[in-house]
Amino acid sequence: MTPMAFVHSPLDRKANHRSDAGWLQQRRAARNAKFIQVHGDAVRMQEGKLAVAAPASAETPLVFLGEEAGGTPWFAFAGNSEGEMQALRPLMVGGALAPAELSILAQARSLVHWHEKHGFCAACGQKTEMSDGGYRRHCAACGADHFPRTDPVVIMAVQHGGNILLGRQKAWAPGMYSAIAGFMEPGETIEQAVAREVLEETGVVTGAVRYVASQPWPFPSSLMIGCIAEAVASQITLDEKELENARWFSRADVRLMLDHKHPEGIHASHPWAIAHTVISAALQ
């Protein structure tokens, strides 16, 4: 298996303490507290390192992320200062941050984004307020509570006769092929979502499905559920609205693609993405 991004968080989220406003205030005031500034897909950096300074105003709403084993509390807040803001994706690809920091940023980015998009009650339309350290928004007008959501996505390598089915989207980097993926729909099992997405995008009918791994994906807040599916037949009928191309590759071809050594110049997903892990698992 290859290393994935966003799966190495060291934080205890302290869920049983988040409703205690006094406890949260104590953690906020702790000398060793760390604060992440998020704006869209960007985070505050300082001299090549993650900036962890408190916001200028004590009234700035904070999301409590959790505590490290040594007791260091982490918070996140929204803001667009004139400092050095860097996009999360390049930081992930470039390896500028430790895996633990990158994972904390994934949590921070997803939660801050949710608060920015859910400031008003979906039941009555009135303004809501942050509660429980950022894990709930409460509407005082009608009493409704709203909670952060995560969108599940199935992502799968499909096998048949020793070959592996991979596809590519037009927007991807030239030569890149990856696992088939799509959002789960209400009322579906993981297995049903895998079968539906593969059929919709490639026309390939699948049977047995096995789980491989999962990965939080904070763009803005998904959970990638990695699987391997067995195809019943190999005929491809491409949905060109979804994919530019889909091909069956031999195992030897896929190994070369993972190593970026394929003679055609094609390659598979990078190690930080769960697609790389799923494709690698299909070769085992």
| Residue 185 in tokens | 């729909």
pLDDT of residue 63: 98
pLDDT band at 96 (very low <50, low <70, confident <90, very high): confident
Q: Which residue has the higher pLDDT, 213 or 3?
A: 213
pLDDT, the chain, mean: 96
pLDDT of residue 4: 93
83 pLDDT higher than 90: no
Instruction: Measure Cα distances from 271 to 42, 92, 125, 218, 259 in Å.
Output: 22, 11, 43, 17, 10
User: What's the whole-number mean pLDDT along residues 244-253?
Assistant: 98
Q: Closest Cα to residue 108, out of 65, 150, 79, 148? A: 65
pLDDT band at 1 (very low <50, low <70, confident <90, very high): very low
Say what the pTM is: 0.94
Domains of the chain in sequence order? 21-117 (3.90.79.20), 151-282 (3.90.79.10)
pLDDT band at 50 (very low <50, low <70, confident <90, very high): very high
Q: What is the pLDDT of residues 141-176, one digit of tens each?
A: 999 999 999 999 999 999 999 999 999 999 999 999
Report DSSP state, residue 134. G
pLDDT band at 82 (very low <50, low <70, confident <90, very high): low
- What burial class does residue 269 get, using C-beta atoms within 10 Å of its C-beta: 0-12 exposed, 13-18 middle, 19+ buried? buried
User: What's the whole-number mean pLDDT along residues 52-81?
Assistant: 94
User: What's the whole-number mean pLDDT along residues 111-139?
Assistant: 97
266 pLDDT higher than 60: yes
pLDDT of residue 2: 45
Q: What is the pLDDT of residues 99-124, one digit of tens each?
A: 999 999 999 999 999 999 999 999 99
Proportion of the chain above pLDDT 90, given as a percent? 95
Q: Do residues 206 and 229 make contact, with C-beta atoms less than 8 angstroms apart?
A: yes
pLDDT of residue 282: 97
Q: Which residue has the higher pLDDT, 3 or 229?
A: 229
74 pLDDT higher than 80: yes
Contacts of 87 (CB under 8 A, 6+ apart): 41, 42
Q: Where are the beta strands (DSSP E) in 79-135?
A: 84-87, 129-131
